[in-house]
A and B are shown apart, each in its own frame.
Chain A
């Protein structure tokens, strides 16, 4: 497939090389291993492939989705996909030859700028694989900067982020990860935090909203963390920042996020868009690509990959990370989305999320036996305590075509009856009522 050579082309090429067959070119390979049996299935034509893949897609059952927990369903304006799927963006490589890659480079610069402004942070990278790996790499930077060995995280951090973080730091000599608990209201227990912070703490990882949907008193957390001489790494929802206080405003040293809510489809959770930002002082500790403004030799503005001496292709084993790509296309979706919405549109969509989730919570709390588990303020998701195990609710509502939420029992002891429920701007009044009716009917 996709090979253009005619027999005549091939003949001429072999002649030029000075061999009589392609096999002659493969003399370097152990000949007894050549051409193994692969047992591949029959090759499909494009038409057959299309039918086959559409049939697979049809095997997925569409649900009215009330699940959040790190990946969110949002409305994506048509222009996002229309622009980012242009071959000029889609089939370009990493912008190594800057002069012939100004398009990609400028979009990344605009992405970094929009993210810095949205987060109120000094610098942002061109992006990382996803929110979890961005967090892990930010924490590695905190270890390098402080020279301390203890990582303190909120117990209400996304369970996947916890696992990825532990994977990334497991082999750092002497490093340990500790959790600081949340209180009865679902937000951090500040007294416990104070106790858990020490002169060994390299950084505190503060998710807000946390995995339980609760917003944190970030200023009070930041004061305590910095008091201990530790760094603060915030994990936020970038769409929520349309209305919510920014990591920069409470003095976060690093702030990371899963950028998928900004113009990227759910895609079963991948690809994601790891957003990584920092204070200026830590600029050279950031892993991965960064684009900067430069001048060409005629003094015109140009964009270029910069601060590259941090990276693996120069530092090899001494690099701050092995990363050598970014999620450029996902970052492009995000910057197109932010450009279309502007500050006003982003505020509107964030307010719609707030409103829908609060309307849903209000309706569900009216059902007998159901109540909101935590009292801390929330953005677009909240924990619903049910009269029966949440897993059962999920199963029953699936039969009614509803994705009810994320059952918390597997990750949080004591929350077996608790369901993390999300409502974004994609849910109409009727959808909210349908959910309430379905829940009331079981």
Chain B
């Protein structure tokens, strides 16, 4: 039965002329009093006209169409969908933080600056790096910040011949895109058959033209680079910098410090490793850490503590410049700060230990029906691969959609690119054994369906508010607005 109240009616379709949500006590004079006609808009914008109640109902209904971490297991590989503690929602919404203007006098914002300073100090402790900037607004923005920092470092040494950035084929697409944005030529190197960096290929690619080598640790197939220190030495010997993509820091937390692995630069994702919510795509925060020799080139300003006062220091002659307006995504960093304050040396390692335990448990439990592409111990995520020819023509994307029917969000699929029909599962440390068992049971059920009634899987999902979507026509004739 088609419902009378359509679930996906647009707000504009519910709109009635003259209806209002919010009223202000109007100004005494219209805009013409203050501005010449030429500066005024000619026609009112086509915004919806709803009552407050209708607005509340509209967005509440929409929210109910989402799967979310609070409601469903969200095993998205590389995204670290761990529990977002509710206390941080409350604390980051305190007026004392939200109602602060970035250009308010520093003496009036000491609380905010102290929080940011302390957060940087904690990040230094857990990574072993010498300095952090909180300016980048996201992980990819952090990557760009890091690579531009590296570029400023080489430029300051008048080492202008370094024009290349080396990226393995397992890297996130942001790595090569970032290097390109920073004006570098991207050198892609293939991975070795064991899923790690091919040292020979790396050695061949390295030269006095190499500016940076970008590596994700653990890498995107969920494996720790076994020769990481040797690799770092090779990079440093070539005069290049080692950029460690911290997207997978959840597997390192408390186990090993990136600085000990030889990292010169790295970014962290507050919205992954440090439990800030993803917000449907953002905002995040991508702090960048640097070893002492690279630190002076980080963006300005930097938070400093001197003579009992916190300041934003803008006079940094070697700095690469600014990466965004104002200082950083303060409200997101505040959540990260809250998170780190809830751990000490004894408990911080529990994060990575249990993330690794959970990923290996899923890998072991699925073995036989769904196998890991690299059949060995993984870190915080496992990457499975299927052969559609052995699965009645069912593809990874079909399994992803079928999972939705059983109340699970899908893993990351078709990434990394070197794994055919990849399914990347990152349970995170905050999921219980019982939830993982339920997930495994559902995957087994889907496996049986694939062999008994594959069409059910191929036609999935069957339980969502819409069926499978025709993305082709959407891209051919884009409808991007009302």
Contact = CB atoms under 8 A, between A and B. Distances in A.
17 contacts: A17-B364, A40-B340, A43-B347, A53-B94, A53-B115, A61-B109, A93-B281, A103-B62, A106-B10, A164-B324, A270-B137, A293-B474, A300-B8, A302-B8, A302-B469, A317-B176, A398-B108
Contacts of B244: none
B282 A100 contact: no
Most chain-A Cβ atoms within 10 A of its Cβ — which of B90, B128, B471? B471
A391 B188 CA distance: 52
A358 B32 CA distance: 13
Interface string B107-144: 11111101100000010011010000000011111011
B451 interface: no
A200 interface: no
Contact of A172 (B48, B173, B183, B356): B183
A43 to B, nearest CB: 4
Interface in A81-115: 81-104, 106-107, 109-110, 112-114
A343 B96 CA distance: 32
Interface string A144-188: 000000000000001011011011101111000000000000000
A241 B45 contact: yes
Interface string B344-386: 1101111101101110110111000000000001010000000
Interface stretch (A2-10, A224-232, A430-438): A2-10
A327 B283 contact: yes
Contact of B278 (A63, A73, A84, A93): A93
A14 to B, nearest CB: 7
B82 A102 contact: no
Q: Bin chain B's interface residue count.
A: 35 or more
Given A16-B361, A117-B45, A316-B177, A336 B64 contact: no
Nearest to B224: A28
Contacts of A10: 357
A209 B172 CA distance: 39
A324 B326 contact: no
Interface string A327-358: 11110100010111111111111111011001
A176 B38 CA distance: 33
Nearest to A101: B66
A119 B441 CA distance: 51
Nearest to B169: A316
B478 A292 contact: yes
B445 interface: no
Interface in B327-347: 327-332, 334, 337-338, 340-345, 347
Contacts of B35: 215, 243-244, 354, 377
A413 interface: no
Interface string A123-134: 110110111110
B79 to A, nearest CB: 6
B138 to A, nearest CB: 5
Contacts of B125: 38-40
A387 interface: no
Name B's interface SS.
Answer: loop
Contacts of B238: none
B70 A91 contact: yes
A373 interface: no
Contacts of A328: 279-283
Interface in B273-314: 275, 277-284, 299
Q: Bin chain A's interface residue count.
A: 35 or more
A349 B176 CA distance: 45
Contacts of A416: none
A36 interface: yes
Contacts of B357: 5, 10, 13-14, 17, 22, 25
A394 interface: yes
B481 interface: yes
A403 B105 contact: yes
B471 A22 contact: no
Given A92-B69, A322-B140, A329-B280, A65 B104 contact: yes
B260 A33 contact: yes
B65 to A, nearest CB: 4
Nearest to B415: A313
B110 A59 contact: yes
Contacts of B158: none
Contacts of A69: 103
